[in-house]
Structure 1
Amino acid sequence: MYRFLLTPRWLGLHLLVLVLIPAFVFLGRWQYGRFEEKSAAGDLITANLSSASVPLTTLDRVGAGTVPNTVKYRSVTVDGRYDATHELVVRRRTQNSVLGFYVITPLVTSQGTVLVNRGWVKAGATADAPPEVPPPPTGDVTVTGRLRPTETEDSSGIRNRGGLPPGQVLLINTADIGKTLPYPLFGGFIELTGQQPQAATAPDPVPRPDVSEGGGLNLAYAVQWWLFIGVAVGGWALLMRREAHDLRAAAEDPAREGAPTP
């Protein structure tokens, strides 16, 4: 009765199922791995955000290249003076679904200079028009903010290019920006959360990072791929059972018109 399982049609179906099962296992494991990575990264960022502020020099130094992701979003403090003459704006930054610029102002300290992302401003009339940027405070300031590693094309997903208007960049890359400045830079940069004294007007602050998802979507995809294994095996068994039932019925009832195609 089950000799039909050795026909070319059924051998092809067996092969397809045997290929799909390990493929679904692999895809599920890959999505679960992404879930674990994002969950671990989210836990680390949450812990860093809740940590007490420390002096910048305890986590970063001049000429370090960058800071490790293990200290990403740690709160740091540093004293210095803003150098508005070397201020830059970072193109193609969206906030509240509006396209604009980040404002990057060097803060000169006794240990070196650190780039400070003072916040976001709305774009001008055209992409190349300079935006309106509130000036930084003059004199000595104490800056508090989230420490960030230098941006790269891989970490940001933004493709860097030249030929931009003066004073504009696409990435907050300390190595590249440092080549245009007359002083050495710390490896990372600071995302401003507070300063004393406060400025009369200031760019919109950069929002706190959202880590609520934590890879939940990847976990759902992993479960989905593994459920597909049951669907494939169950469908395979159901088709075999139905084919056997039809052949048995045809054998018991010779008057039945036709038999299922093997």
Structure 2
Amino acid sequence: MYRFLLSRRWLVFHLVAVLLIPSFIQLGIWQYHRHEQRVARNELLSANLEATPLPVAELAGDGEVADGERWRSVTATGRYDREHEVVARHRTDADGDVGFYVITPLVLSDGSAVLVNRGWVDSPADPTAHPEVPAAPEGEVTVTGRLRQSETQANSGIRDRSGLPERQVMRINSDELGADLPYPLLTGYVEAVSTDPEPAESPAPVEEPDHTGIGSHFAYAIQWWMFAAGVPIGWFVLIRREARERAGGGRNADGGPARAPGPPAPTGPSPRSSAGDSPRPTAPAEGPAGEPPRPAALSAPRGDAG
């Protein structure tokens, strides 16, 4: 009854089903891991953003900013170096408009400096022109902000480019920008939240990162696992349906549609004998009234001459 399962068509179907089940399971695991990463990121962001600000020099030394210190609230006190200010290209604001981030070194009291992202400004009509940037405040200021790691292609996806207009960069990277500065630069940079004293005019502040939403990764994981569970169920249903169709004459053993039965073939001799057959007796002829029937005469075989 189930010999059709060994046909070529069904063997291909079995192979596809066997491959789909582990694939769907792995896709679900991948989405669940992304969910866990998003939850862990939100917890880290929430803790670091709400923490009491620390001096930036305690967290951004000679080495890279630790993963656990990303977005940590920090403070830095010093004087802005307007001469070495640059802008980072292709940055968006809260409304999705493309512009620049304004990056200004803040020279600390010990002679070192830290890069400060003062905020966002709009792009000029001429893409090669320098944007209009509110001047950094003069004198000593205290900046409170979020500590960030230097941008690299690996952690930001931003590729560096050569031939950019003067004082424009693609990435905010302390190692790359520090090579042209006359003082040592702390690693990473600070994303400014507030400045004391507050300047009369400043770039639009960078929005705080979202740390509440978890996305749809968990729902996608459940969806993939449901697909994995549905494959064997669908496989069983199709086999049962095929078996019922075959049991009811719906298909032949080769998988094709069954042919409708025709009328039975004749099994007796042909009503007409061929030439050379033995003579057949004829019914006795009746004689005149009152006489017994005459003996039947043998008829000559058909096909005899004369």
TM-score, length-scaled by structure 2? 0.79
Other-structure match for 1:37: 37
TM-superposed CA distance for 1:230, in Å, is 2.2
Q: Which amino acid aligns with 1:259?
A: A
Other-structure match for 2:241: 242
Whole-angstrom distance in 2 between the partners of 1:206 and 1:32? 30
Runs of 4+ aligned structure 1 residues displaced above 2 Å come to 211-214, 257-260
Q: Which amino acid aligns with 1:77?
A: T
Whole-angstrom distance in 2 between the partners of 1:258 and 1:37? 54
Other-structure match for 2:69: 71
Other-structure match for 1:254: none
Deviations 1:7-54 (A, max 9, x none): 221111111111111111111111111211221112111111111111
Q: Which amino acid aligns with 1:115?
A: L
Q: Which amino acid aligns with 1:123?
A: S
TM-superposed CA distance for 1:236, in Å, is 0.8
| Count of aligned residue pairs for this structure pair | 252
TM-superposed CA distance for 1:213, in Å, is 2.6
Partner SS state of residue 248, structure 2: helix
TM-superposed CA distance for 1:70, in Å, is 0.8
TM-superposed CA distance for 1:122, in Å, is 0.4
Can you give the 5+ residue segments of structure 2 that lack an aligned partner in the other structure?
251-255, 260-306
Whole-angstrom distance in 2 between the partners of 1:32 and 1:126? 45
CA contact (8 A) 1:31 1:221 kept: yes
Whole-angstrom distance in 2 between the partners of 1:39 and 1:79? 34
Other-structure match for 2:100: 101
Other-structure match for 1:90: 88
Whole-angstrom distance in 2 between the partners of 1:157 and 1:228? 33
CA contact (8 A) 1:53 1:74 kept: yes
Partner SS state of residue 208, structure 1: coil
Whole-angstrom distance in 1 between the partners of 2:180 and 2:219? 47
Whole-angstrom distance in 1 between the partners of 2:59 and 2:221? 37
Bigger share in helix: 1
Deviations 1:105-134 (A, max 9, x none): 100002310000000000111211111100
Other-structure match for 2:168: 168
Partner SS state of residue 67, structure 1: coil
Other-structure match for 1:190: 190
Q: Which amino acid aligns with 1:146?
A: R
Q: Which amino acid aligns with 2:173?
A: N
Other-structure match for 2:221: 222
Other-structure match for 1:54: 54
| TM-align CA RMSD | 1.6
Partner SS state of residue 124, structure 1: coil
CA contact (8 A) 1:246 1:259 kept: no
Deviations 1:51-77 (A, max 9, x none): 11111122122x32x201211111101
TM-superposed CA distance for 1:220, in Å, is 1.9
Other-structure match for 2:155: 155
Other-structure match for 1:138: 138
